[in-house]
Amino acid sequence: MKTTTYKVLELFAGAGGLALGLHNAGFKTVGLVELDKHASNTLKTNKPNWPVYNIDIIDFNKNLHEYISIEESIDLVSGGFPCQPFSYAGAGLGLADTRGTLFYEFADIIRKLNPKVFLAENVKGLSSHDNGRTLKTILNVFDKIGYNVNYRILNANDYDVAQKRERLVMVGIRKDLPNTYQYPHPSKRKLVLRDVLNNVPISDGAKYPEHKRKVLDLVPPGGCWRDLPDDIAREYMAGSYHLGGGKTGMARRISWDEACLTLTCSPAQKQTERCHPDETRPFTVREYARIQTFPDSWIFQGGISSQYKQIGNAVPVNLAHKIGLSIIQFLESYHKENGELNNVKTPIQPEFYF
């Protein structure tokens, strides 16, 4: 049983998938930073009591003391910083070498607030980005500002989400705490589309152009362009036709009895089509939200393109919930063994620590 209220600050908050999951797990949200006005309005609409800062992360970091007291004990800093290349200056890179990137702001805020734990979510490709040097630099920076990092590629379908969405997740534990964090165990049952798309509220949705609709009419549930007549497949795929084993996301119709492929920001885009099982159309906004495990009551602001983008970029709420519970379990275990964790204060690491 949770005995302490743990505080979380979220950076790059988006539409709130990660924040809502952590909230549901028991964290108290003390601030969210999101530059996009529509996503920021989504947060404000659904959680009026959450402090939402619709500002650039650079400005937030420069004036951090105006938003978050440096003396306040923050248990968790969370967020999904964009994957960017670094300008490499040699071995032993530290925080200063990553200046000019959004990762720098993320790591520098962690350095200043010195939370007990941080949680970072990113695309699976971060693990191989720039031949692995990007991830190596990130881990090196976190090590130098005082954190042991556990990272793993998690599939949302293993955590009560009807979607085969793989993401790289990093959990950093401050070095004065035991590095005993364990990722959540996968659920015994994997959800499929029919488990989550029941009685979905009516909402707007993107539409396919007539030519695309006629092509997708020929694709069975669970099928893709390979199920098309060869002449139509050649015309539709154009140069991609000759790529052999790839591009199975093109002209893809999802089956009721499978988990959805990773939802993207553009549901009608040719390379990443996710056609409804029965109807020849993309999933609607509310269907998108269901697949990402947002509650039906969670309202998305902005136009339809912005709403799709917000949902497609989000961390699935149920995945965030499972990770949040595992972090609280770690903090509770330490709290039980070592007394009042929230009263522990440790010095801020120097900015250029090598």
Catalytic residue numbers?
83
The two structure tokens encoding residue 194: 């029919």
| Separation between Cα atoms, residue 62 and residue 50, nearest integer Å | 21
First to last CA, the chain: 40
Count Cβ neighbours within 10 Å for each residue of 129-147 and write b for 16 or more, e otherwise: beeeebbebbbbbbebbbb
Count other Cβ atoms within 10 Å, centred on residue 128.
12
Whole-angstrom Cα Rg for the chain = 22
User: At residue 46, what are phi and psi to the nearest 5 degrees?
Assistant: -85, -30
Alpha-carbon distances of 76 from 122, 137, 153, 277, 300, rounded to whole Å = 17, 22, 20, 40, 26
| Separation between Cα atoms, residue 217 and residue 248, nearest integer Å | 17
Q: Kindly state the DSSP code that residue 302 receives in the 8-state scheme.
A: S
Q: In what order do the strands lie in the sheet with 117-123?
A: 52-53, 28-33, 7-11, 76-79, 117-123, 166-174, 147-155
| Separation between Cα atoms, residue 5 and residue 218, nearest integer Å | 54
Nearest residue to 324 via CA among 117, 40, 67, 84: 117
Residue 340 three-state SS: coil
Contact 328, 26 (CB under 8 A): yes
Alpha-carbon distances of 131 from 127, 128, 349, rounded to whole Å = 8, 5, 29
| Separation between Cα atoms, residue 231 and residue 159, nearest integer Å | 41
